[in-house]
Amino acid sequence: MRIAIIGAGIGGLAAASLLHDAGHEVAIYDQFDAPRPLGSGLVIQPVGQAVLDRIGAGAAARDLGAAITRMEGLDQTDGRKVLDVVYDRKDGARFGLAIHRASLFHVLYTAAMARGLTITPGTRVVSAPQEGGGRLVLTEDGRRFGPYPLVVDASGARSRLTPLAARPLSYGAIWGTVPWPSGSPLPHDRLSQRYFRASKMAGVLPVGRMPGDGVERTAIFWSMPVAGFDRWRQAPFAAWKAEATAFWPDFAPFLDTLRTHDDMVAARYAHGTLRRPCAPALAHIGDAAHCASPQLGQGANMALLDALALVTALARVTDDPLRDYAAMRRWHVRAYQGMSRAFTPQYQSDSRVLPWLRNHILMPVSRIPPVPAILTRLVGGDLLPPLSGQPFP
């Protein structure tokens, strides 16, 4: 089948390689003059790593990234541990793969290019109207491609093709990527976070190396209300560094190489899920189908799983493979979207009640078996079957 993929991000590149391997003829369209990643660090959970292995990019990703065995967070008021998720308490076989988005993009792009796939750059797709039994691909500058029997929308939360109306969240974060400082007392095998209630959060995530670079790096982030982004940028950068250092002294060495506001990137988050991530001859994957805050660390994994589900559905002999794709992902997506919606205000909000409940009720309960094992599966991405009714991976 001739398939057009809109967007050369994580989901789009993964889908392109998987669809090519299944025998489809793939055309990729991307809005940038040269495909490039956006963002900072992220965590590929075990389910996402399985998809990377299926593509043949898993080993390269693990070579660049950093293995994360634990997610740990402390309340700075009293030093109380309020987040503690261990990936594998037995033999360490399961871990999160913390990686810079540029490194993940590099391994997926390399895998796509090794298959001889090509990307048409500078194509800002604005619509994909039906024509016959397929769809056209129309661009902002008036170009027309197709028709294609199937168009895959992998162009993100701001896609012009998706009917998704996501709800913006009041809190976002500023992110930066810096070298891991020598002598830091923070463990190199975990996500470390510090909180004050839910209104202030700082985090350190080791992300391994960038392509062609031997320097070990880390992603750092600082939570703040979206309404405060402009005030932060207008204030002296040194003032923010002083505030962050006073809040968490161990954070200070990670700030040494930062000089200006432009060394950080402001990220805004939203929650939303399409009831049906498909239409005739059109499938939405990744953030074009569902988006959430990064609190559970599932965004990139969801895009990878969507790509695998779509390819799996197209391989089945069925009257409506896109309906099957939607069914495969429905409960996994809904469950994780619901949990993200529930957990996020406990860590990013103005509430005083929710962080108290987090500290004094939810955290103690999380230590009682079998809750630790459930949390491990939750973060790992396989608390529910990633592809309903299908073996995984």
Lowest mean pLDDT among 222-226, 307-311, 367-371: 367-371
Q: How confident is the model at residue 294 (pLDDT cuts 50, 70, 90)?
A: confident
Calpha distance 391→64 (Å, rounded): 29
- CA dihedral (129, 130, 135, 136) in degrees, to 10, reads -40
In a domain, 62, yes or no: yes
Q: Which residues contact 4 (CB under 8 A, 6 or more apart)?
A: 27, 28, 29, 128, 135, 137, 145, 146, 148, 150, 151, 152
In a domain, 47, yes or no: yes
CATH number of the domain enclosing 151: 3.50.50.60
- Angle (CA) 58-94-154 rounded to 5° is 45
Q: What is the mean pLDDT of residues 293-315?
A: 90
Q: How confident is the model at residue 296 (pLDDT cuts 50, 70, 90)?
A: low
Q: How many domains would you assign to the chain?
A: 1
Residue 317 has pLDDT above 90, yes or no: no
> 171-190 b/e with 16+ CB inside 10 Å = b?
bbbbbbbbebeeebebeebb
Which comes out higher in pLDDT, residue 91 or 256?
A: 256
130-166 pLDDT, tens digit per residue, is: 999 999 999 999 999 999 999 999 999 889 999 998 9
- Angle (CA) 288-26-97 rounded to 5° is 55
Calpha distance 48→381 (Å, rounded): 8
In a domain, 42, yes or no: yes
Return left, alpha or beta for 74; rule: phi > 0 is left, psi -120 to 50 is alpha, else beta: beta
Measured from the Cβ of residue 93, the count of other Cβ atoms closer than 10 Å reads 8
Residue 37 has pLDDT above 70, yes or no: no
Cβ atoms of 242 and 208 within 8 Å: the answer is no
Calpha distance 11→28 (Å, rounded): 12
* Residue 271, CA distances (Å) to 10, 167, 185, 276 in order: 19, 5, 35, 16
Token look-up 């055309």 returns: 27
64-74 pLDDT, tens digit per residue, is: 999 999 999 99
In a domain, 173, yes or no: no
Calpha distance 278→47 (Å, rounded): 23
104-122 pLDDT, tens digit per residue, is: 999 999 999 999 999 999 9
Residue 267 has pLDDT above 80, yes or no: yes
Q: Which residues contact 166 (CB under 8 A, 6 or more apart)?
A: 157, 270, 271, 272, 291
Per-residue model confidence (pLDDT) at position 297: 67
Burial class (CB in 10 A: 0-12, 13-18, 19+), 373: exposed
Indicate whether this model's pTM tops 0.75.
Answer: yes
Calpha distance 259→140 (Å, rounded): 38
Residue 320, SS3 per DSSP = coil
In a domain, 353, yes or no: yes
- Domain that residue 343 falls in: 2-167+270-380
Q: Which residues contact 104 (CB under 8 A, 6 or more apart)?
A: 10, 37, 42, 44, 61, 65, 300
> What letter would DSSP give residue 361?
I
In a domain, 163, yes or no: yes
Calpha distance 105→151 (Å, rounded): 21
What's the chain's average pLDDT? 94
Q: How confident is the model at residue 36 (pLDDT cuts 50, 70, 90)?
A: low
Q: How confident is the model at residue 299 (pLDDT cuts 50, 70, 90)?
A: confident
Residue 392 has pLDDT above 90, yes or no: no
Q: How confident is the model at residue 89 (pLDDT cuts 50, 70, 90)?
A: low
In a domain, 145, yes or no: yes
In a domain, 183, yes or no: no
